């Protein structure tokens, strides 16, 4: 055990541990409540307990009486330690503080936890059952305190101990009992709520209320009362260990060799794709045949009726082959990706690989999507080579072709347009006159354009009947080249039908996150070639942008959207390059600051300049 700062007590593990577990203690407790956890948890888990003022090691400091006070002081201390995957655990009062910490981190655009485990506390939007106790007389307060079973009779009867203990626990109870939740959107990270099944202060129904604060909710009951974390400690820590092991299994094997899996979409299919995979995964193939009503193996390997090129057949076939390829990759290598992305249809395979979609549900969605898109008629698409977006748009405007949409931003030298057949045909001559390549595509409709609005509307309704699980790793969405939000999966998938595929921006985003390896999972090498082109043209700006920001918050927001954690930077007064270990944050209400690896203090963002990425 060692003290990192007055707020942070490391109980086990070290900087080399792959995962951090932050623990928030209950009212009246301290970081020492988690001291024994070290003997139960493996070394890959670093346990850091949060120590509030006015208790062990901090007796000279006044107790704090509301959560904003706590977070204002805690977040600058905690932020340098968000540089690796982490979980947040909080028991009773600690659950409430942990919840508000996560909401504050979202406002500050700090890295969120992989999992939040609130323990023995009702969902934060639910009213308290009992009247406040923090302002009762000492005698009445002690009676109520005894009902929580967290303080022994010997301690309650010891007047000397209670003289020191009562002010602290009154302050903690005041935090609990005066808390008022301010409405915000769900926190959008997985929540695993836990409770002692005999807890007299929190019901199972109140615990399940945490599900309203996330799109990925689970809960579990343990034997015991309010302090089951002591009476059922081995069972609790086995659960935490299990969750950490799952998280670790999906981390890249080497942080310096970050891997992304890419899944191709329509256009990559060919007769013979899948090969022996159909025989290696017979159970999945049987499930697919049952959903599709025909043999997917025969479609891919024989295609006797020439259906493989038809959208309603192409999309399910590619989903199955991509999924089987992914399963084989994991079986043979055990190498899970840090990120997933898919081009158009391939995005469903990325969601499957990330755990958000099951195989059967994913195939049902793709089957429906293919059927709806195949109904669109009168549309066409074309690939435009060696013409930048601005020139292309101006050309379309100049020739009255404004009902043509950009379907795909594939690379700096390849853009795909989509629209009515007549207008696509009319666009060829003026585009070719600019020296660009014009290549009509063999598609049945104007995909990823306004002409798919009817399909989008019907698919949105169909999506509403499906449930999605949590993400094992981020999936980059086509529509905005940013990671999916778990609360917006349905909206994002429905938008994708009419929206552009921002593939170039997606790969650039992954490069900024530090991805160094891209593996195409599925037939062909279309995406591999595109990544090669994008990588050659991608360069991070070597000098800091000369911009005027209206506020320090705007400056922080711009930095965090542009430069990921781990960005190499130059800092005034330092000879060599440094590397950021946090997002930019607001300190003291007015200063934009950031933390660097191997340095404890913060750096003023005005002194920091990003380096070019090779």
Determine the pLDDT at residue 145: 67
In a shared domain, residues 415 and 299: no
For residue 55, what pLDDT is reported? 86
Which pLDDT belongs to residue 392? Answer: 95
Q: Which is more confidently placed, 512 or 277?
A: 277
Determine contact, residues 543/569, Cβ cutoff 8 Å: no
**Residues annotated as part of the active site:** 344, 448
Q: Do 365 and 466 meet the contact criterion of CB atoms below 8 Å apart?
A: yes
Between 546 and 335, whose confidence is greater?
A: 335
**pLDDT reported for residue 146:** 66
Quick check: 539 pLDDT over 70? no
User: Per the domain annotation, does 131 fall within a domain?
Assistant: no
**Contact by Cβ (8 Å): 503, 530:** yes
Is the pLDDT score of 547 beyond 70? no
DSSP designation for 309: T
Q: pLDDT tens digit string along 435-480?
A: 999 999 988 789 999 999 999 999 999 999 998 987 878 899 999 9
With 90 as the cut, is the pLDDT of residue 409 above it?
A: yes
Query: Which residue carries 């395979």 as its tokens?
Result: 349
Write down the pLDDT at residue 614.
Answer: 33
Predicted confidence (pLDDT) at residue 156 exceeds the cutoff of 90? no
Same domain, 347 and 466: yes
Please indicate, yes or no, whether residues 436 and 457 belong to a single structural domain of this protein: no
What is the model's pLDDT at position 153?
Answer: 54
Domain boundary among 485, 510, 537: 537
Q: How confident is the model at residue 312 (pLDDT cuts 50, 70, 90)?
A: very high
Q: Which DSSP string do the residues of 324-348 spell out, in sequence order?
A: HHHHHHHHHH----SEEEESTTHHH
Residue 252 has pLDDT above 70, yes or no: no
Q: What is the pLDDT of residue 613?
A: 42
Q: pLDDT tens for residues 472-511? A: 788 999 999 989 988 889 999 999 999 999 999 999 988 8
CATH code for the domain in which residue 237 is found: 3.40.50.1820
Contacts of residues 172-175 at CB distance under 8 Å and 24 or more positions apart, as own/partner, are: 172/27, 172/28, 172/52, 172/63, 172/93, 173/27, 173/132, 173/133, 173/134, 174/65, 174/66, 174/134, 174/135, 175/27, 175/64, 175/65, 175/66, 175/67, 175/70, 175/93, 175/96, 175/97
User: Does residue 283 register a pLDDT over 90?
Assistant: yes
Q: What one-character-per-residue DSSP string does 144-193 give? A: HHHTTT-S-HHHHH-HHHHHHHHHHHHHHHHHHHH--PPP-----S-EEE
pTM of the model: 0.55
Least confident span in 10-19, 258-267, 383-392, 403-412 = 10-19
> What digits encode the pLDDT tens for the residues 550-594?
788 888 988 888 888 888 888 876 766 788 889 899 886 777 889
CA distances 48 to 2, 5, 14, 317, 420, Å, are 10, 11, 10, 48, 60
Same domain flag for 517 and 605:
no
User: Are residue 489 and residue 568 in the same domain, yes or no?
Assistant: no
- CA–CA distances in Å: residue 128 to residues 122, 181, 202: 8, 12, 10
Asked if the structure places residue 445 within a domain, the reply is no
CATH number of the domain that residue 386 is part of: 3.30.70.250
Percent of the chain with pLDDT over 90: 59
In the listed set 249, 279, 301, which residue is the last one of a domain according to the structure? Answer: 249
DSSP 55: S
What pLDDT, on a 0 to 100 scale, did the predictor assign at position 170? Answer: 84
Segment 285-313 mean pLDDT: 96
- pLDDT for 281: 96
> Using 50, 70 and 90 to split pLDDT, how confident is the model at 148?
low
pLDDT band per the 50, 70, 90 thresholds, residue 134: low
**Inside any domain, residue 281:** yes
Tell me: pLDDT of 143 over 80: no
Distance separating alpha carbons of residues 479 and 465, to the nearest angstrom: 22
Residue 546 resides in a domain: no
* Domain contains 119: yes
- The answer to whether residues 192 and 68 belong to one domain is yes
Q: Are residues 317 and 347 in the same domain?
A: yes
Q: How far is CA 201 from CA 35, 65, 179, 196, 206, in A?
A: 25, 22, 17, 10, 10
Q: What are 92's two structure tokens?
A: 């009773």
Task: Count how many domains the chain has.
Answer: 4
Residues 294 and 417 in one domain: no
Geometric angle at alpha carbon 302, from 297 and 304, rounded to 5°: 120
Coil, helix or strand for 480?
coil
Handedness of CA 25, 29, 35, 37 (dihedral sign): negative
* Per-residue tokens: 556: 């922080």
Q: Specify whether 283 is located in the same domain as 415.
A: no
Burial class (CB in 10 A: 0-12, 13-18, 19+), 67: buried
Banded pLDDT at 299 (limits 50, 70, 90): very high
Three-state DSSP state, 119: strand
Q: Is residue 158 part of a domain?
A: no
Tell me, yes or no, whether 324 and 202 share the same domain. Answer: no
Across 44-53, 182-191, 572-581, 602-611, least confident range: 572-581
Return the DSSP state at 294: S
Q: Which of 207, 232, 249 is the last residue in one of the domains?
A: 249
Please tell me the predicted confidence (pLDDT) of residue 378.
Answer: 86
- 8 A C-beta contact, residue 19 and residue 44: yes
* The pLDDT of residue 233 is above 50: yes
Give me the torsion for CA of 95, 96, 97, 98, rounded to 10°: 50
Q: Does residue 161 carry a pLDDT above 60? A: no
Residues 74 and 41 in one domain: yes
Classify residue 144: in a domain, yes or no: no
Question: Is 273 in the same domain as 363?
Answer: yes
Residue 590 is given by DSSP the state: T
**Domain extent for 300:** 258-368+451-537
- Of the segments 126-130, 160-164, 305-309, 551-555, which one has the largest average pLDDT value? 305-309
- Residue 169 included in any domain: no
Query: What is the C-alpha to C-alpha distance for residues 363 and 357, in angstroms, rounded to an integer?
Result: 9
What is the distance between the alpha carbons of residues 592 and 602, in angstroms, rounded to a whole number?
10
Beta bridge partners of 604: 593
């Amino acid at each position: 055990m060692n003290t990192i700062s007055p707020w942070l007590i490391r109980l086990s593990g070290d900087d080399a541990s792959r995962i951090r577990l932050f623990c928030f203690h209950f009212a009246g407790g301290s970081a020492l409540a988690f001291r024994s956890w070290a003997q139960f948890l493996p070394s890959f888990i670093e346990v850091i307990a949060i120590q509030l003022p006015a208790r062990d090691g901090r007796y000279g400091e006044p107790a704090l009486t509301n959560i904003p006070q706590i977070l204002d002081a805690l977040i600058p201390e905690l932020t340098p330690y968000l540089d690796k995957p982490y979980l947040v655990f909080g028991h009773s009062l600690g659950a409430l503080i942990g919840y508000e910490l996560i909401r504050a981190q979202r406002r500050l655009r700090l890295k969120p936890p992989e999992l939040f485990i609130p323990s023995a506390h009702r969902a934060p939007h639910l009213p308290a059952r009992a009247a406040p106790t923090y302002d009762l007389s000492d005698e009445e307060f002690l009676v109520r305190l005894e009902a929580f079973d967290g303080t022994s009779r010997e301690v309650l009867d010891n007047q000397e101990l209670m003289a020191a203990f009562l002010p602290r626990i009154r302050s903690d109870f005041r935090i609990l009992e005066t808390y008022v939740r301010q409405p915000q959107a769900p926190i959008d990270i997985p929540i695993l709520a836990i409770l002692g099944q005999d807890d007299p202060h929190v019901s199972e129904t109140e615990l399940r209320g945490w599900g309203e604060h996330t799109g990925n909710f689970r809960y579990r009951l343990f034997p015991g009362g309010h302090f089951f974390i002591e009476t059922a400690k081995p069972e609790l820590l086995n659960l935490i260990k299990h969750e950490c092991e799952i998280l670790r299994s999906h981390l890249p094997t080497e942080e310096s060799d970050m891997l992304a899996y890419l899944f191709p979409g329509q256009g990559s299919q060919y007769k013979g794709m899948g090969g022996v995979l159909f025989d290696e995964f017979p159970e999945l193939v049987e499930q697919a045949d049952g959903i599709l009503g025909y043999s997917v193996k025969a479609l891919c390997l024989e295609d006797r009726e020439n259906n493989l090129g038809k959208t309603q057949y192409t999309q399910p076939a590619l989903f199955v082959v991509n999924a089987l390829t992914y399963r084989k990759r994991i079986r043979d290598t055990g190498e899970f990706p840090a990120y997933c992305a898919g081009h158009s249809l391939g995005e469903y395979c990325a969601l499957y690989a990330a755990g958000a979609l099951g195989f059967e549900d994913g195939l049902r969605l793709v089957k429906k999507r293919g059927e709806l898109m195949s109904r669109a008629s009168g549309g066409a698409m074309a690939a435009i080579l060696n013409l930048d977006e601005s020139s292309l748009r101006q050309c379309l405007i100049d020739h009255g072709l404004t009902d043509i949409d950009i379907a795909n931003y594939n690379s700096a030298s390849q853009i795909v347009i989509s629209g009515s057949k007549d207008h696509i045909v009319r666009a060829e001559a003026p585009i070719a006159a600019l020296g660009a390549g014009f290549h009509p595509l063999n598609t049945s409709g104007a995909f990823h354009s306004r002409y798919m609005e009817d399909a989008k509307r019907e698919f949105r309704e169909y999506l509403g009947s499906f449930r999605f699980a949590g993400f094992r790793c981020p999936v980059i969405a086509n529509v905005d080249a940013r990671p999916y939000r778990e609360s917006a999966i349905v909206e994002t998938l429905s938008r994708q039908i009419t929206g552009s595929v921002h593939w170039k921006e997606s790969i650039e985003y992954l490069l900024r996150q530090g991805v160094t390896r891209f593996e195409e999972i599925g037939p062909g090498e279309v995406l591999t070639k595109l990544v090669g082109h994008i990588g050659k043209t991608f360069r991070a700006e070597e000098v800091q942008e000369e911009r005027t920001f209206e506020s320090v918050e705007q400056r922080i927001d711009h930095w965090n959207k542009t430069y990921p954690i781990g960005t190499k930077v130059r800092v005034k007064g330092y000879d060599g390059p440094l590397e950021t270990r946090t997002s930019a944050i607001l300190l003291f209400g007015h200063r934009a600051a950031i933390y660097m690896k191997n340095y404890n203090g913060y750096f003023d963002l005005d002194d920091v300049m990003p380096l070019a990425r090779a």
